[in-house]
Amino acid sequence: MVRLNEISTRAPESIDKSDTEDTTEELAKELGELQTTLFAENKHSLLVVLQGMDSSGKNSSTQAAFEKCSPAGIRCFSFKAPTEEELSHDFLWRVHQKVPAKRMIHIFNRSHYEDILIQRVHNWINEERVHRRMASINSFEELLQYDNHTTVLKFYLHISAEDQKKELQERIDEPEKNWKHNPNDWEEAKLWDQYMEAYEYAINNSTIPWHIIPADQSWYRNYLVTSTIVDTLKSLNMKRPVLDESTMELK
């Protein structure tokens, strides 16, 4: 049973920042090569789900991990307030349209879990509906993984309340970050305890497990996210097609 308040949001003191940043750059290069292999082999796909409180680093993690990847094989989507058309369908309708085809990597920067997080915290849905939606999410993710060879990789970026406030204040104090400022982020931060409860429910009731990523230090967060993606793709044992010299066709 995951209890988020029992998990550190920081890197171990023994880990060197400079060395870790160098390692992350090398991993990003390796990820670029693995993405090319994924695209060329055309047998698998990868769905990366990034969730976390405001300012936990979802955008920055994406940039650090995929900076050496080809944009031809990457798509990024964000699921926020549903449109009128989306509300007229089941809650997964808009999500299923955005899952990756074979050879593609899709990133969900906020995902289908928003429908049991913000909606639960604000009491827009009742507990029975939360439980039913959780069951639907598990079935949905299993469908992707076992029916279409889509690996579902889920990250919860675990920032502390103290560091979140610091990050949000920097968006006010530093002109180059002003564009990120959203007054509503401060209102949502007041509901911290309710969000932690909602996240713990989602994490503990997921069939496909989550990776809990300490997020107070961006360099350590980026390393963990990137290294996990690299290890996951390597575990697929992918191979690039080669020419059969007798037929001059790929095999």
- The model's pTM is 0.94
Residue 249 pLDDT greater than 80, yes or no: no
Inside any domain, residue 241: no
Cβ atoms of 20 and 123 closer than 8 Å: no
Structure tokens at 129: 């509906």
Non-local (6+) Cβ contacts of 30 within 8 A are: 230
Residue 33 pLDDT greater than 90, yes or no: yes
% of the chain with per-residue pLDDT over 70: 97
What is the amino acid identity at position 235?
S
**Residue 171: which domain range?**
13-236
Question: Measured between alpha carbons, how far is 188 from 201 in angstroms, rounded to an integer?
Answer: 18
Give me the mean pLDDT over the 28-53 stretch: 97
pLDDT of 81: 85
* Residue with more model confidence, 248 or 61: 61
Residue 59 pLDDT greater than 70, yes or no: yes
β-bridge partners, 157: 52, 213
Structure tokens at 69: 């990847």
Instruction: Please report which residue ranges of 75-217 form alpha helices under DSSP H.
Output: 84-87, 93-96, 118-121, 127-147, 161-173, 183-189, 192-204
CATH of the domain at 213: 3.40.50.300
Q: Give the SS3 label for residue 87.
A: helix
Total number of domains in the chain: 1
% of the chain with per-residue pLDDT over 90: 87
Inside any domain, residue 61: yes
Least confident of 18-22, 82-86, 203-207: 82-86
Give me the mean pLDDT over the 49-64 stretch: 96
Inside any domain, residue 144: yes
Quick count: other Cβ atoms within 10 Å of Cβ 62? 18
Least confident of 36-45, 176-185, 203-212: 176-185
Inside any domain, residue 195: yes
Structure tokens at 163: 């560091």
Q: How confident is the model at residue 187 (pLDDT cuts 50, 70, 90)?
A: confident
Give me the mean pLDDT over the 181-185 stretch: 87
pLDDT of 198: 97
pLDDT of 246: 66
Q: Own/partner pairs for 87-92, CB < 8 Å, 24+ apart?
A: 91/115, 91/133, 91/136, 92/136, 92/137, 92/140
pLDDT of 185: 87
pLDDT of 248: 58
User: What does the mean pLDDT of the chain come to?
Assistant: 95
Inside any domain, residue 7: no
Inside any domain, residue 4: no
Q: Tens digit of pLDDT for each residue in 139-156?
A: 999 999 999 899 999 999
Inside any domain, residue 32: yes
Inside any domain, residue 8: no
